[in-house]
Amino acid sequence: MERLASLRNRSLIAGSASLVLCALWGWFAREQFFVSYLVAWLFFLGIALGAMVDLMVSRLTGGAWGELLLRPLEAAMSTLPAIALLGLPLLLGLDQLYAWARPHASQASELLAHKAWYLNVPFFLLRAALYFAVWLFFAHRMRALLGSRTDATQLRRTSIAGLMAYALTVTFAGIDWIMSLTPQWYSTTFGLLTGIAQALAGFAAAMVAAGVLVCRNGVAEPGAPRVLQDVGNLLLMFVLTWTYLAFTQYLIIWSEDLPDEIGWYLPRLHTSWYAIAWVLVVFHFALPFTILLFRRAKRSAVWIAGLGMLMLVAQWVDMLWLVAPTFRPAGFRLEWGDLLATAGLGGIVLAVALSRIESPRQARLLHGARQHG
């Protein structure tokens, strides 16, 4: 407990200091500050939402893997209120990030004029508030049910409703917050791809925490090699699903060769951003896929934690690849703000998660969930 408290305090101090430095850097590079902040914020939001989804799935399907990952999943899900507050600075930079949010944007482009009924600031903010209202409600509901002696049927019903609500809201959130950075582009696969990426991110974060807990003998029975193997198999499923959707989206758009669609890929595949695409191919698919073919790796807590960390880094690179090329079309460029914003938000989010993972309520959650199982 003392070690976790010390880590939490250091994480909070480091995160706050990094955000201050990022804000000072942003004073001289306003647009790039908001780009960097958006990348980091979407990354940590994806971990929290993905953890909530994975927790709901575990309550529906059962299995010892859900008990092993319960504590880190619930802790990650509990960071949603903090992440919602940390997203408020982005409201000051909507006109820097989104072409449609600039004054008289609809007059400057016929395309934006046609989409103005949907892509306008008041409606955008209303939708964002609705998304978070839904997510925070289900996150709070899941925590309350896990910590009580409620019948398992009620928990499963909440999980089903939550997954349906998430599928709808994350589709529109992906369109609003990422796809509309390039308003002329559209993809019917993007919403589903966003949801799978978030589920993968939440699962990877839980793998890191669970692997560390097992290595330190913090968890006994759920840490058996067989359970770790199940976790590895589930990660393989997430990796393959993400790869299939990402490749399908690219293949369809490349085959159709329509200007409104290929315009999004041009700065990513015809500049030095192309190298980042290959980084994703190797580290988001090929390397974890190869490692996960080996049973010994899936049964090792060290390998599980390492794979989780690898996937988190790959997810961050993927988020950078989704957002940054729109604002850096000449080629790949890593800004100081990219690292400072990630370190800043990460430090604060980690501090919040650590305050949850060893709290007395967490112990009750774990006990209650095992009774439900």
Look at residue 149 in the predicted model and tell me its pLDDT: 67
Q: CA–CA separation, 251 vs 130, rounded Å? A: 33
SS (H, E, C) 234-286: HHHHHHHHHHHHHHHHHHHHHHHCCHHHHHHHHHHHCCCHHHHHHHHHHHHHH
The tally of domains found in the chain comes to: 1
Residues of the chain where predicted confidence (pLDDT) is lower than 50:
219-222, 362-373
Model pLDDT, residue 213: 79
pLDDT given for residue 186 in this prediction: 85
In the chain, how many H helices and how many E strands?
19, 0
- How far is 325 from 342, CA to CA, in rounded Å? 18
pLDDT in tens, 169-225: 999 999 999 999 998 888 889 999 999 999 999 999 999 998 887 777 554 444 578
pTM, entire model: 0.93
Residue bearing tokens 């010390």 = 6
Domain extent, residue 218, equals 2-104+113-372
